[in-house]
C-alpha cells in the first residue's frame, strides 16, 4: 500500500509557482469574505498566507453578513475590471438571503479561479480543460493521480458525492481521461454494490468512516476528500483509513492528502489566469 502524499506534492507545486510568479509584473488574487463564520475566516487566512508565500498579491474584501445582494454584486463587478486582480474568489457559504448561483455568475469567467462559473463548468464537460478553470479540489485529485503515475484510462471509477464543487467536476475530469465513471449520492441504494467493483474510489460526502474495508476490492485506489471532526477532536475523512489501507493499493491520508492540493490548485489557477491576461 502506498500513501498518496498531497502535502509533499502541494509543497512542490507551490515552490514551482513561486519561481514562476517572479516572471510576471504582478499576480493578484481577491477574496471576498461575507460575515464572520469561523471556518470561512480560517480558510481565507490560509489562502492569504499561501498567496504571500508564493509572491501572489492578496486582496481581501470583508463584508458584513447584512450586505445586500446588490452590494455584493457591485463589489464583484469592481474586481472584474481591476487589472491588478487575476483571480476572484467568493468564500462560501454565503448568507441565506443571497443567491449564491447569481453571485458566481457575475464573476468574470476569466477570473473565476474557483471554477464554479457555468461557462467554466460547461467547458470542462466539453473536454476543454486547457481553456477554462477547473474546481480546485477535483483538479488537485487529478494532479495527485498523475504524480503517482495512476492513469484513469480504462479503469472503473466511482465518485461518492455529487456536489457541484467536487463530485460533478470530478466525474467530468475522469470521463475526459477515458475512465468509466459511476456517480453515487445520498439517494443511491446499496452503495457497496457500486464501490466493490471500483478500481478508483473518490469519496466526498462529509460522513466519517462511510467507506469500510468490506466495500472495496483488493488493490483499489482510494481517494478521501472528506474531512470530519470526531467528538474527541480527531480529524478524519470519509474512509475508515486503518481498515481500508490494509486492502488498498494507494490511499490518501486525512489530513495531508487532498486538502493541501486544493489551495495549491487555487494558486495554480490564479497564475494560469495571469498567463491568459498576458497572452491577450
Q: What are the residue ranges in the chain where pLDDT is below 70?
A: none
- Candidate list 5, 112, 114, 238, residue with the active-site label: 114
- Candidate list 47, 110, 111, 168, residue with the active-site label: 47
- Our answer to whether residue 143 is catalytic in this structure is no
pLDDT one-digit tens code per residue, 120-151: 999 999 999 998 999 999 999 999 999 999 99
Same fold, 25-108 and 136-258: yes
Q: CA-to-CA distance for 138 and 254, rounded, in angstroms? A: 16
pLDDT of residue 40: 84
Q: CA-to-CA distance for 235 and 126, rounded, in angstroms? A: 36
- Candidate list 91, 110, 238, 240, residue with the active-site label: 91
Domain ranges of the chain: 25-108, 136-258
CB atoms within 10 A of CB 130: 7
pLDDT of residue 44: 86
CATH architecture for segment(s) 25-108: 3-Layer(aba) Sandwich (3.40)
Q: How far is CA 70 from CA 63, 86, 127, 181, 229, in A?
A: 13, 23, 34, 40, 36
Whether a cis peptide bond, with omega within 30° of 0, leads into 255 is: yes
State CA 198 to chain mean position distance. Answer: 22
CATH fourth-level superfamily of 136-258: NAD(P)-binding Rossmann-like Domain (3.40.50.720)
Strand-strand pairing, 2-3 and 28-34 = unpaired
- Our answer to whether residue 189 is catalytic in this structure is no
Q: Quote the cell numbers at residue 67.
A: 450586505
Q: CA-to-CA distance for 32 and 117, rounded, in angstroms? A: 16
Q: Are 111 and 85 in contact (CB under 8 A)?
A: yes
- Our answer to whether residue 47 is catalytic in this structure is yes
Amino acid at each position: 500500500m502506498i500513501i498518496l502524499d498531497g502535502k509533499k506534492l502541494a509543497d512542490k507545486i507551490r515552490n514551482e509557482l513561486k519561481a514562476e510568479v517572479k516572471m510576471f509584473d504582478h499576480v493578484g488574487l481577491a477574496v471576498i469574505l461575507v460575515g464572520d463564520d469561523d471556518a470561512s475566516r480560517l480558510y481565507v487566512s490560509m489562502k492569504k498566507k499561501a498567496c504571500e508565500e508564493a509572491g501572489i498579491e492578496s486582496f481581501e474584501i470583508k463584508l458584513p453578513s447584512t450586505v445586500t445582494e446588490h452590494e455584493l454584486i457591485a463589489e464583484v463587478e469592481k474586481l472584474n475590471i481591476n487589472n491588478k486582480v487575476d483571480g476572484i474568489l467568493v468564500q462560501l457559504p454565503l448568507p441565506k438571503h443571497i443567491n449564491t448561483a447569481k453571485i458566481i455568475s457575475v464573476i468574470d469567467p476569466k477570473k473565476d479561479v474557483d471554477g464554479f462559473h457555468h461557462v467554466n463548468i460547461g467547458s470542462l464537460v466539453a473536454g476543454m480543460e486547457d481553456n477554462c478553470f477547473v474546481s480546485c479540489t477535483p483538479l488537485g485529485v487529478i494532479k495527485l493521480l498523475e504524480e503517482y503515475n495512476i492513469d484513469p484510462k480504462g479503469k472503473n471509477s466511482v465518485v461518492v458525492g455529487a456536489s457541484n464543487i467536487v463530485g460533478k467536476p470530478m466525474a467530468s475530469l475522469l470521463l475526459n481521461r477515458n475512465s468509466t465513471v459511476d456517480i453515487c449520492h445520498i439517494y443511491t441504494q446499496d452503495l457497496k454494490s457500486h464501490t466493490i467493483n471500483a478500481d478508483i474510489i473518490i469519496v466526498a460526502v462529509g460522513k466519517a468512516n462511510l467507506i469500510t474495508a468490506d466495500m472495496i476490492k483488493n488493490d483499489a485506489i482510494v481517494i478521501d476528500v472528506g474531512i470530519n471532526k470526531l467528538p474527541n477532536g480527531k480529524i478524519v475523512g470519509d474512509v475508515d483509513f486503518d481498515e481500508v489501507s490494509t486492502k488498498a493499493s494507494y490511499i490518501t491520508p486525512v489530513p495531508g492528502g487532498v486538502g493541501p492540493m486544493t489551495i495549491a490548485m487555487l494558486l495554480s489557477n490564479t497564475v494560469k489566469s495571469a498567463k491568459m491576461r498576458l497572452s491577450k
